[in-house]
């Protein structure tokens, strides 16, 4: 294993040992304790403040947009806290934190992600919308991972969009499988460049690790990521869940 030393404020020198072949990370307890204190505490405060705004505890907020934006703050903080918890407590699968797959409601996850992305879209002058059929089946997947995938795709779409462009989240079902797509009317990329960006072999200028991370998260949840794009025609990224990840109606209804 490769051994490194990392200095953390208030903790001193913490020795980090890279994980290989299932060996434990000796530095995780010291670094994890610092992260838990420095990140979870302020995130908890942000969540509490946003919940007060959402409940309008001290009276009406006035303009409905304040209520909408406060939900964006709340959902962002909850997601960030979930990511912190998964990094501190979870095991890694191929470099991707492993999460617990549950019967999640895809519509609720999409709505939460739109609440996070809407202020960014408004600031960029981009129209953000969703096309979700009613009574969607539940998915056997990790909610935090699906949130991260959608936020990555929405973030990329909004980042490269021009004022007046449109970004849409759409859900489709065929043959028992379920697909969630994020499409935009932005400048687009050559097809080969889009594929290289998705698999991480190359990154266009200004594009980070969102697409390869989304592909890894999709694979960890039994899904695939497909990206189509063309210059001047926009980009469409689709997360496709196989039929065995879509729960039957009897399970969807619950007890």
What CA–CA distance (Å, rounded) separates 239 from 249?
21
pLDDT of residue 6: 38
Question: Quick one: which of 112, 101, 113 has its CA closest to 143?
Answer: 101
Residue 79's pLDDT band (cuts 50, 70, 90):
confident
Answer yes or no: is pLDDT of 202 > 80: no
Question: Quick one: which of 108, 152, 149, 147 has its CA closest to 130?
Answer: 108
3-class SS of residue 229: strand
CA atoms 111, 113, 114, 116: torsion sign: positive
17-32 pLDDT tens trace: 333 334 444 444 556 5
Domain layout of the chain by residue ranges = 3-89, 123-253
231-248 pLDDT tens trace: 999 999 999 999 999 998
CB atoms within 10 A of CB 122: 16
pLDDT of residue 92: 40
Q: Are 95 and 216 in contact (CB under 8 A)?
A: yes
Answer yes or no: is pLDDT of 98 > 70: no
Backbone angles phi, psi at 190, to 5 degrees: -60, 145
User: Domain 123-253 falls in which CATH fold?
Assistant: Heat Shock Protein 90 (3.30.565)
| Higher-pLDDT residue of 6, 223 | 223
The conformational region for residue 5 under phi > 0 = left, psi -120 to 50 = alpha, else beta, is beta
């Amino acid at each position: 294993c490769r051994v490194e030393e990392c200095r953390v404020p208030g903790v001193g020198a913490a020795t980090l040992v890279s994980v290989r072949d299932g060996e434990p990370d000796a530095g995780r307890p010291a670094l994890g304790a610092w992260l838990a204190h420095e990140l979870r505490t302020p995130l908890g405060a942000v969540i509490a403040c946003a919940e007060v705004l959402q409940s309008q505890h001290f009276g009406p907020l006035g303009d409905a947009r304040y209520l909408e934006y406060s939900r964006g703050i709340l959902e962002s903080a909850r997601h960030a806290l979930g990511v912190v918890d998964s990094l501190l407590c979870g095991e890694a699968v191929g470099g991707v934190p492993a999460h617990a797959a549950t019967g999640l409601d895809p519509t609720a996850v999409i709505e939460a992600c739109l609440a996070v992305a809407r202020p960014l879209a408004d600031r960029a002058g981009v129209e953000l919308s969703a096309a979700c059929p009613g009574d969607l089946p539940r998915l056997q997947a990790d909610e935090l991972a699906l949130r991260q995938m959608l936020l990555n795709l929405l973030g990329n779409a909004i980042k490269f969009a021009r004022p007046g462009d449109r970004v849409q989240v759409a859900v489709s079902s065929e043959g028992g499988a379920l697909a969630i797509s994020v499409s935009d009317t932005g400048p687009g990329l050559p097809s080969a460049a889009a594929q290289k960006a998705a698999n991480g072999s190359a990154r266009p200028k200004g594009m980070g690790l969102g697409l390869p991370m989304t592909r890894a998260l999709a694979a960890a949840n039994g899904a695939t990521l497909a990206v189509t794009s063309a210059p001047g025609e926009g980009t469409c990224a689709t997360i496709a869940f196989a039929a065995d990840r879509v729960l039957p109606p009897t399970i969807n209804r619950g007890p």
